[in-house]
Structure 1
């Protein structure tokens, strides 16, 4: 399925909508005299977003779309170009996203990229921008490769990934409470507040992208109860985007060098006796 636009630009195209929503949320909290935003944190999030988007665009041009094209060419071609195939692509990508997200908390190589997103002690819509430029290195794109092999065109794969991430922008907020029956099917701000919390009972829970049903099926769902406390257990201080991007990579490779043990690359982050960013916890 060929699109009439570059699907890799979908998040940039939606940037005005995202910025308007951030402005509304900042105004909403300021009117109530509650400090949910800080200038340094928000600017840091913006800088990380620009770095992430730049790295993703370069990686897509250099090798990601080529890999998807190869898989599509040599794959099953199981899905015809119909409206139903678009819906199937969206559902399959959301299913795969759950496992990518879960692995990003349980495999340190992937956590080294994902920790950047969790490193703020605030949760607001600008937190959704807080992403790492190292995702192409850690291999996020590999999780969508089976979609191209199944017969979804590379452009469609890239598009549904972008739309999934666009949806997730709107769950990074404390301004919206619980949403009734929607909570049973979709990822909501309440579910995602749990995911960003460092309260012991909330750590490594609610991995959903769009549909919360995956968490309920695979035993990682927890309902919001106690007020969430945000950030990572051993908090990284400061707002330098480079430090926020690379601190866990540095800690991981130092652990490999210290112990002469490559298992630090794929074991859970807390497997390190002196973890840089997470406490020992029970795997859900």
Structure 2
């Protein structure tokens, strides 16, 4: 599931909008670094910025291959949908939005708790500083691991595939600004929306903050399912992986956790241990 499907389904006009959004995102990430370096006179890791851009370019190159584990499942779900839901009313749009947020929550939770998915998602958590550029670092293997399967129920229920993709794209675009740790708290909105304050906690590798705040636009499902954590004044945020990744090499960033997973699979004794390694939670070294 990607911007490619939107572009192919809606014609060439959408490409201009997507290009404009991409330019805006890159400009905002660059401006943040410039302000940090030359206005605030504070350290900014430009090599990490470059690695994040390289990750984004590499992801587009991999996506261009058209490989996706989930694509046949999504096609089957659409062909065998239980209904056809017309997005002709505000209620239908609201239902799609909430449904997408619910599916995203469980995808994101699985991306942290199932090592097969974590091998890709670890890339997003590899920066040791939280910046807007870090939002661009999403890994190259998401389509190959089947992450879009989490959104297949929406297609099976009868929502148009394009609408599901567009809603997910809007979710991810919303999350871009969440990677600005300098943003202030947003008062009562913090109870309902995912905000930079909540997302700082999500990116922290402190034991008190691990595996928290999975929401996309909303934070309500974290509150409902017990995965919400508020920022604590007595705990200094430490970003990055529990074992920090000290490299700016895009290839190592993209595949370091796959290498770790392959090593642990090789060492695992018996099929039961291998399955547990593949689909169990990440270890302390991840």
- For residues 156-175 of structure 1, the aligned pairs below 5 Å read 156-175=163-182
C-alpha deviation, 1:246, in angstroms: 0.9
1:185 match = 192
**TM-score after normalising by structure 2:** 0.87
Per the alignment, do residues 148 and 39 of structure 1 end up closer, same or farther by CA in structure 2, a change over 3 Å counting?
A: same
1:217 match = 224
2:80 match = 74
2:50 match = 43
What are structure 2's unaligned runs of at least 5 residues? Answer: 1-5
What CA distance in whole angstroms lies between the structure 1 residues aligned with 2:113 and 2:26?
Answer: 32
Cα deviation digits, residues 2-24 of structure 1 (max 9, x gap): 96347996755511111221133
Aligned length: 270
Per the alignment, do residues 68 and 76 of structure 1 end up closer, same or farther by CA in structure 2, a change over 3 Å counting?
A: same
**TM-score after normalising by structure 1:** 0.88
Asked whether 1:254 is paired with 2:263, we answer yes
What CA distance in whole angstroms lies between the structure 2 residues aligned with 1:191 and 1:165?
Answer: 16
Cα deviation digits, residues 27-64 of structure 1 (max 9, x gap): 332311222x322100100011122233345437x665
2:278 match = 265
What CA distance in whole angstroms lies between the structure 2 residues aligned with 1:161 and 1:6?
Answer: 20
1:54 match = 61
- For residues 1-40 of structure 1, the aligned pairs below 5 Å read 4-5=10-11, 12-30=19-37, 31-35=39-43, 37-40=44-47
Asked whether 1:234 is paired with 2:247, we answer no
- For residues 192-207 of structure 1, the aligned pairs below 5 Å read 192-207=199-214
What are structure 1's unaligned runs of at least 5 residues? Answer: 278-284
Asked whether 1:130 is paired with 2:143, we answer no
C-alpha deviation, 1:70, in angstroms: 2.8
Cα deviation digits, residues 159-198 of structure 1 (max 9, x gap): 1111111011110011202111111110000100000001
What CA distance in whole angstroms lies between the structure 2 residues aligned with 1:250 and 1:76?
Answer: 41
SS at match of 1:117: coil
Q: CA RMSD in A?
A: 2.2
SS at match of 2:100: helix
C-alpha deviation, 1:229, in angstroms: 0.8
2:3 match = none
Tell me if structure 2 keeps the 8 A contact 1:94–1:210. Answer: yes
SS at match of 1:202: coil
What CA distance in whole angstroms lies between the structure 1 residues aligned with 2:130 and 2:18?
Answer: 20
Per the alignment, do residues 102 and 154 of structure 1 end up closer, same or farther by CA in structure 2, a change over 3 Å counting?
A: same
Instruction: Select which of 96, 101, 113 maps to 1:94.
Output: 101
What CA distance in whole angstroms lies between the structure 1 residues aligned with 2:108 and 2:258?
Answer: 18
What CA distance in whole angstroms lies between the structure 2 residues aligned with 1:52 and 1:93?
Answer: 23
C-alpha deviation, 1:76, in angstroms: 1.1
Per the alignment, do residues 112 and 206 of structure 1 end up closer, same or farther by CA in structure 2, a change over 3 Å counting?
A: same
